[in-house]
Chain A
Amino acid sequence: MAYIKCEELTLGYDGKAVTKHINFEVNKGDYLCIVGENGAGKSTLMKTLLGLQKPIEGEIVHGDGIKPYEIGYLPQQTVVQKDFPASVYEIVLSGNLAKCGFRPFYGKEEKKIAKENMKKMDIWDLRKKCYRNLSGGQQQRVLLARALCATTNILLLDEPVSGLDPKVTAEFYQLICDLNQSGVTIIMVSHDIYAATKYASHILHVGRKQLFFGKTSDYLGSEAYKLFGHGGDDDE
């Protein structure tokens, strides 16, 4: 049984379909990259997977012990966060909120998880620093640590490297790759087709409809890959 299985999804908002016939599944240990042009419905698909909106048609089935709320999420930065006075520790700890249930405050267990994840992301020394004063790469690590507090199984990343410089980008991809090898399933929405084909095990290419889903090695020979301006930079 797959972690997440999507059957004949039609996605959109206000009842208007953006993309149709989406069929794919994510299994334990997969590294799935969702690629496609702007406006192809990548973000909509992301929101639907997270349960923030409902699909117009079709069904998402969660299996293999994954509950809909056990998905860690690394969102795109919002305007609000750019100038938010919060320390790294406060933000990472907030990823544990769902674990608290009806308790109003965090217990020892939650604090321990937060600490472990901060150490894992190498931001423990920054824990008292203010989020808004960090560099882009450090901010992403903070959000990643928070997402890891919420889940140990599956992570959704929405354009995680936009705005990062090449060196930090490469480091970040490596970090994700390491996480994947340690058993965390990854779903990433990306513009970066080169990184996608380099790191991901599976590719989902969406347009007005689903253009490709399958193993990365198969994708490289597919029509959809050629369509994406393979070999040239004309897609940028």
Chain B
Amino acid sequence: MMSNIEKLRFYLQFPFVRYALIVGVLIALCSSLLGVTLVLKRYSFIGDGLSHVAFGAIAIATVMNIADKTIFTMPITIIAAVLLLRTGQNAKIKGDAAIAMLSVGSLAIGYMIMNVFSTSANISGDVCSTLFGSTSILTLSQSEVWLCVTMSFIVIALFIIYYNRIFAVTFDENFSKATGVKADRYNLLIAIMIAVIIVLGMNLVGSLLISALIIFPALSAMRMIQNFKGVVICSAIISVCCALAGMFVSILFSTPVGSTIVVADMIVFFICSVIGSLKR
């Protein structure tokens, strides 16, 4: 046990490990805040679709040798989010089918581009780390860390400022519209914030696992807590704790960061389910 703490202390001396911890906690916090809305609005699949779009965008960025991938990926994902939201409302291809198309399409294109054009010696390694996020959080450049931190704070601030409106629009969109709340505008805001979080979160857990980071804490909190504010706060706490625990475990036992965090989230979900069913 002692040796584990010493080991942690040893790793924490390195600035990139500290950066990784800060960024990881912020991403976990942001994703859990919006996760509640996403789950309740039945938008979970949008998060999944967007993460695949982000994978495609990263593939392109990698091939084009763009140094700051996040800056390239974010606008593309935001555009995809806006488009998905539009088509969800009135289109010939209904929401879920459109998202399935978009997500597998960008997965395929992303992988193809990486395979055909990449000059890297280790293509499957690149693909794997984009999909599962293995080490990219430890290799963040200083500017990427700052971008992550700034964006996280913007998302958190927007969420707090618009908290009451997000609640109203999530609970009853038609009522909000009928009483003069610009519901479409807030839906757009939610979609954009999700896109931002997904792009940021890909550094931490990779594009395949980011949905887990968004959905699990919200679902866990909803098992136990019976009011909206409580659910949001509880899911934020769960998410941050799981992210920290996951990162420490992965440092100590050299497991992949992303999947360790997701496994931690899953364990908490089962614990919460049991507590929830006992309370009833």
* A227 in contact (CB, < 8 A): no
A176 vs chain B, min Cβ distance (A):
18
Surface stretch bound by B, among A32-40, A85-93, A206-214: A85-93
Q: Is B86's beta carbon under 8 Å from chain A?
A: no
Contact of A98 with B226 in the complex, beta carbons under 8 Å: no
Task: Bits for B175-204, please: 1 = Cβ < 8 Å to A, else 0.
Answer: 111111100000000000000000000000
Q: Which of A69, A84, A94 contacts B168 (CB 8 A)?
A: A94
Task: Kindly state whether residue A71 has any CB partner on chain B within 8 Å.
Answer: yes
Judged by DSSP, the binding face of B is helix
Min Cβ gap A46→B in Å is: 10
* Chain B residues closer than 8 Å to A133, beta-carbon distance: 226
Q: Find out whether the CB atom of A80 lies under 8 angstroms from the CB atom of B41.
A: yes
- Does A129 sit within 8 A of B, measured CB to CB? yes
Interface code A128-151, partner B: CB below 8 Å = 1, 0 otherwise? Answer: 111001000000000000110010
Decide if the interface of chain A is mainly helix, strand, loop or mixed: mixed
A56 within 8 A of B: no
Give the interface segment out of A19-27, A100-108, A166-174, A181-189: A100-108
Q: B213 CB to closest chain A CB, in angstroms?
A: 20
Residues of B within 8 A of A72 (CB): 179
Distance in Å: Cβ of A70 to nearest Cβ of chain B: 8
Q: Does A95 contact B (CB under 8 A)?
A: yes
Whether B179 pairs with A85 at a CB distance below 8 angstroms is: no
* Interchain CA distance A85-B165 in the complex, whole Å: 16
B95 to chain A, nearest CB (A): 14
Partner of A69, one of B40, B180, B230: B180
Name which residue of chain B comes closest to A129, CB basis.
B226
Q: How large is the interface on B (under 10, 10 to 19, 20 to 34, 35 or more residues)?
A: 20 to 34
Q: Which of A35-75 contact B (CB under 8 A)?
A: 47, 50-52, 68-69, 71-73, 75
Interface residues on A, range: 35 or more
Tell me, yes or no, whether B222 is within 8 Å of chain A by CB. Answer: yes
Partner of B167, one of A90, A146, A156: A90
In the bound assembly, the distance between CA atoms of A128 and B228 in angstroms comes to 11
B42 at the interface (CB under 8 A from A): yes
CA distance A69 to B231 in the complex (A): 31
Check A106 against B178 for contact (C-beta < 8 Å).
no
Interface string of B90-134 (1 = CB under 8 A from A): 000000000000000000000000000000000000000000000
* Chain A binder among B6-14, B23-31, B69-77, B156-164: B156-164
Q: Top 7 A-B pairs ranked by shortest CB distance?
A: A69-B180, A130-B226, A87-B227, A50-B178, A94-B168, A86-B228, A73-B178
Extra A-B contacts (18), CB below 8 Å, given A85-B226, A104-B163 = A47-B174, A73-B179, A75-B174, A75-B175, A80-B41, A85-B225, A86-B167, A87-B226, A87-B228, A90-B228, A91-B171, A94-B171, A94-B172, A95-B179, A97-B164, A129-B226, A146-B175, A147-B175
Chosen A-B contacts, 10 in total, with CB atoms closer than 8 Å, are A50-B174, A73-B178, A75-B172, A75-B175, A85-B222, A85-B225, A86-B228, A97-B164, A97-B181, A98-B180
Q: List residues of chain B with CB under 8 Å of any chain A CB.
A: 40-42, 160-165, 167-168, 170-172, 174-181, 222, 225-231
